[in-house]
Chains A and B, each alone.
Chain A
Amino acid sequence: MGKRRLKAMALAYALILATVLTAFLSALFVRTSHTLQLATLSEAQIQADQLAELGIDLAFLLLRDVDAEWYLGRGEPIDNNHIFFDGRFPDDEIGGRFELEFKDPGEVGADSALPDDGTYKLIVCTGYAGKSSARAVAYAKITNPLVNFLMVAQGANLGPESALDGPMFINGDARILHAGRAPSVPVGVADYWGGDVYLGGELHATGDIFVTNEDHDPAQLPAIQLEGEYDPGSLVHDDMNPGAPGPNPGDIPGSVNFTRHFFADPNADFAVRTPYMRELLDHYRAEVPAFESVTVPPEGLLVEFRGASGQVTFSKVDTTEVGRLYDRGAFLDACGAEWNASLPYSFDGNWFLIAGERMYPGLGLQRAREELAWDDPAFLNAPYPAELLSGSYDVPDGSAPTDPIVLEPDMDGDGTDETQGDYTPVHRIVRGLEAHPPITAIDDGENFTFIVLRPHSSNPMTNVTNDDPAYPGMPAMQSFPPVYVRGILNGRVVLIYDVDPSQESLDPLDLDTPDAGDSNGAGVWNGYPKVHMFVLAQHEMLNENGTTAFGDLVPGGIHYHDPRIKVSPADPGTLTDDSLLMISRGTLGAFGTHGHHYSWLYRNAPSYSQRYNYREALRNLDEQYANHYAPTDPGRQDDFRITSKTNSFLTRHAVATVYGVGVSNWTLNIYFRPTYDDPAATTLVGKTHPNYGHSWDDFHWNDIPGPDPPTHDPAKAPMIGTLMRESRCNEAWKWRTRGSLHSLAAMVGMAGEARFDYTFQELTDEDIKEHLHLPLSPVLIHRMTRR
């Protein structure tokens, strides 16, 4: 055998040996790895994990439900046998022990990631069971959720035409509604509504987060559940196009748009604790050292922030009639000159037809034509149906109406004198007599001025008699005088509308949750809150008060004198010290003149002989205010707009721009309507179905008579009378919010633009507690467990 052959054999031998060794060692490695991997999973390890989690849960719950600062003064770690836990968590019952520590971010080098000054806390818990241990870490923010989120509520319906950009927390389900159909209307009937929804930021919910329609059997379509992260883009739900047979199904306009990176987190670890309104008011009564107290007169109160002066002025509410709305014109306006029944969403005003279908399924168009003699070539001179002549108004002197009452000579050229049922007067709210000396807001960048508004003590309630033919038999409702707020705020103010403790029994605040299925129950109506604060979207007009003694005209909505708002967490820091916290014991809404009804519907007071170009007046005012306030900061011109446009509903909506935090006890979207003789003092608050009420809409599906309301005969109810004579001529449609809106006891129905003002997130726990006097509560940001 040659040397070469010998080498070849040796090589083959070595290869065989190496192969065998490799194969067996690989098997050995796999087996060992598996064994080692499982070795970390033991009964004791699971128990240790659970103990670490228990410590975090327990710490958070005590912070949330007992005392947000119970950890203070406990610098050393505390274990489950600490006296604080009162022997409730002994080793033998919980399967081991845990050790709990609270740390500031700076202690663990996390202060760069958690930039807030003293608000963030780290909760660290180590669990021990047998020979195993585990560690859990949680980041919590000791703050007040009202300043930390764009919205906190017990549930939320985010309706069409809304743009929400900011962190939100919903203690329950969040429903993003893009389309809906009124109940009892067959599929395919043109009775859908819809619109775009714009979302950015974060949405956390303890329930589920849905993109859904608000439809009813049999067309209820499955919802899309949001979870996780979404890149900017659009989401189209199938039922944007109902696709149902019928005369006018059309496409439901709108989609859900993620304007920037969006994070949806259903089933959040814990509900956020927000105080009940009673707790909040009690807290303020006990904690705030000095209040400025203002009495709300029976006429209602107009609160105005007067810009650079820092003054807050208070006047009695007065009204002035600025025009008259004629039924016939209203119909033409609502339907639009290009009205076309086959294109329900293509032109302005077709909601009238839609609403007609809602009232008279399948007969809406016919009914409209009958009532208005639409088919009559002599339409403009056609007489009104008899029932329309007997309107639902009280005559101005309060006596019972007689039929007909001649109010004006022939104005519409039909050869007859105008009667009571022919028109609706249009009012504006104007400044009345001074109700309280002005108060100057503190402007030291730290402290807040607390202003508490309380109804006058004598006969504080206004009886609002229900004379609504749509709800016959409903009991009279009572309401405290309304408060309207507008202007430019300079400084820091907490504005509270509360009742005097002696008046608690009149508005007890221990109301039941609204029952949507009991809308006509007297108990439910009586149980509604009676305190109402409105952001007045209506700007002061040049000729409104006959004087400019206060200086600049006061714009509608609420604006900050210093417009530099921190709108992104990446902004360098707090930019403005202007801050506003509005707390309404009852409801919080927006109110103002909108541009829905077109110019030729109105006639100028006092002669009523000339048409009042209302739309043009709105447009002029809109530009006037924008030009007046915007030049120094072009980016803010939208803040002073009166109206905004939308592409899927009517042409112009009034807006209420609101800076600051709004807190109400009730759902934020409200339905109310002024009575005609005195719209300011007798605001009637009606029930809103929590699923339907949205501030984007000036009439609500549920305030149109249902198919079978008690004692209501739809065959005889005049559609025009129902819709137009009760039209709310002064209601704002949309919020434009640069702050946050919260509902403590109920659901938020949100529409309009809402962008989070991160200035509030910059407040330290000391600011929140010592200066703003809001109670602290934890917000769980993030948690993790390590073995």
Chain B
Amino acid sequence: MKRGLSLIEVVVSLGILALVVGSVLLVYVGLMAGTRKADVRMAAVSALSTVTDLWKIRLKESWPETHPADDVTVVYSGQIREFLYEVEDLGRQPNPAPVPGWDSDDPRRYLSLKRARVTLQYEDTSVSPTVTRQLRVVFHVGH
């Protein structure tokens, strides 16, 4: 006996297909929406990481030859991609373990270790209206 698909069978088949496609699409779109905010931040964090690495190199290569009492903070500004950033060079750090007998101006009273702070700004477009936010990392450079 020959028999074609009934109308109901065709409708059910297409319905199942639509449900599958729809549910997958729903999950994907939901995920996109949910991570968009994180994406904006991630791009900024990525830039922050890059700035930190670059300035570690730069501070090391431009290591001062003067006596290490460089206790005045020096601020550098710059831009990486669309992000503005600021690097504060906090200078060399006092030696936590000075040896008795060292002169007061003995250079070993400071470590060959600089502390610096990088602050990066980014626009959070995932909210309305857009908000300017900051990321900040403290890093140290040894020489």
Contacts and interface: CB of A to CB of B under 8 A. Distances in A.
B140 A50 contact: yes
A713 interface: no
B138 A13 contact: no
A24 B31 contact: no
Contact of B45 (A41, A53, A60): A41
Top 9 A-B pairs, shortest CB-CB distance: A57-B142, A24-B24, A95-B138, A38-B42, A86-B96, A1-B4, A50-B139, A54-B140, A88-B96
A43 B136 contact: yes
A264 B13 CA distance: 68
Given A31-B28, A53-B140, A43 B48 contact: yes
Given A35-B35, A38-B42, A58-B111, A1 B52 contact: no
A269 B143 CA distance: 7
A57 B113 contact: yes
Interface in A539-598: none
Contacts of A28: 24, 27-28, 31
Nearest to B13: A13
A50 B135 CA distance: 15
Residue among B13, B28, B138 facing the most chain A CB atoms (10 A cut-off): B138
A313 B112 CA distance: 46
Interface string B22-37: 0011011001100100
Interface string A11-45: 00100110011001101100110010011011100
B143 to A, nearest CB: 7
B46 interface: yes
Given A2-B2, A50-B140, A61-B111, A21 B97 contact: no
B37 to A, nearest CB: 11
Contacts of A269: 142
Interface range for B: 35 or more
A13 B15 CA distance: 12
Interface string A58-78: 101110011100100000000
A379 interface: no
Contacts of B35: 31, 35
B111 A21 contact: no
A93 interface: yes
Interface of A: 1-2, 6, 9, 13, 16-17, 20-21, 24-25, 27-28, 31-32, 35, 38-39, 41-43, 46-47, 50, 53-54, 57-58, 60-62, 65-67, 70, 84-89, 93-95, 269-271
22 contacts: A1-B5, A13-B13, A20-B21, A20-B24, A21-B24, A24-B25, A28-B28, A28-B31, A35-B38, A41-B46, A43-B135, A53-B139, A53-B140, A57-B140, A57-B142, A65-B95, A86-B96, A86-B97, A87-B96, A93-B115, A94-B115, A270-B143
B88 to A, nearest CB: 12
A38 B2 CA distance: 58
A88 B31 contact: no
Given A25-B24, A66-B108, A95-B137, A271 B97 contact: no
Given A1-B2, A31-B31, A66-B108, A41 B97 contact: no
B20 interface: yes
Nearest to A18: B20
B17 interface: yes
Contacts of A2: 2
Given A38-B42, A43-B136, A21 B20 contact: yes
B93 interface: yes
Contacts of A20: 17, 20-21, 24
A53 B115 CA distance: 12
Given A24-B25, A95-B137, A61 B112 contact: yes
Nearest to B138: A95
A44 to B, nearest CB: 9
B2 to A, nearest CB: 6
Nearest to B17: A17
Nearest to A24: B24
A269 B56 CA distance: 12
Nearest to A780: B142
Contacts of B96: 62, 84-89
B8 to A, nearest CB: 15
Interface in B92-143: 93-97, 99, 108, 111-113, 115, 135-143
Interface string B44-64: 011011001000000000000
Interface in B54-76: none
Contact of B113 (A27, A47, A61, A86): A61
Contacts of B20: 17, 20-21
A1 B31 contact: no
Contacts of A46: 45, 48-49, 52, 137
B82 interface: no
Given A66-B95, A66-B99, A67-B97, A41 B2 contact: no
Contacts of A43: 45, 48, 135-137
Nearest to A39: B38
Contacts of A47: 137-138
B3 interface: yes
B137 A271 contact: no
A41 B5 contact: no
A511 B94 CA distance: 28
B52 A50 contact: yes
Contacts of B32: 31
Nearest to B25: A24
A25 B27 CA distance: 10
Contact of A66 (B97, B141, B143): B97
Contacts of A9: 5
A61 B142 contact: yes
Contacts of A271: 143
A85 B28 CA distance: 51
A88 to B, nearest CB: 4
B64 to A, nearest CB: 15
A784 to B, nearest CB: 15
Contacts of B115: 93-94
Contacts of A67: 97, 99
B93 A88 contact: yes
B42 A32 contact: no
Given A1-B3, A46-B45, A93 B138 contact: yes
Contacts of A21: 20, 24
Given A20-B17, A31-B28, A38 B4 contact: no
Contacts of B39: 38
A27 B28 contact: yes
Contacts of B108: 65-66
A60 B142 contact: yes
Given A39-B38, A57-B113, A65-B111, 14 more contacts: A6-B5, A17-B17, A20-B20, A20-B24, A25-B24, A31-B28, A31-B31, A41-B46, A46-B52, A66-B97, A66-B108, A67-B97, A88-B94, A89-B96
Contacts of B94: 88
A50 B38 contact: no
Contacts of B136: 43, 95
Contacts of B135: 43
A777 to B, nearest CB: 14
B91 to A, nearest CB: 13
A21 B21 CA distance: 7
Nearest to A32: B31
Nearest to B23: A24
A62 B31 contact: no
Contacts of A85: 96
Residue among A57, A60, A62, A270 facing the most chain B CB atoms (10 A cut-off): A57
B138 A50 contact: yes
A392 to B, nearest CB: 42
Given A28-B24, A271-B143, A42 B17 contact: no
Nearest to B94: A88
Contacts of B5: 1, 6, 9
Nearest to A5: B4
A548 B42 CA distance: 83
Contact of B28 (A24, A54, A58): A24
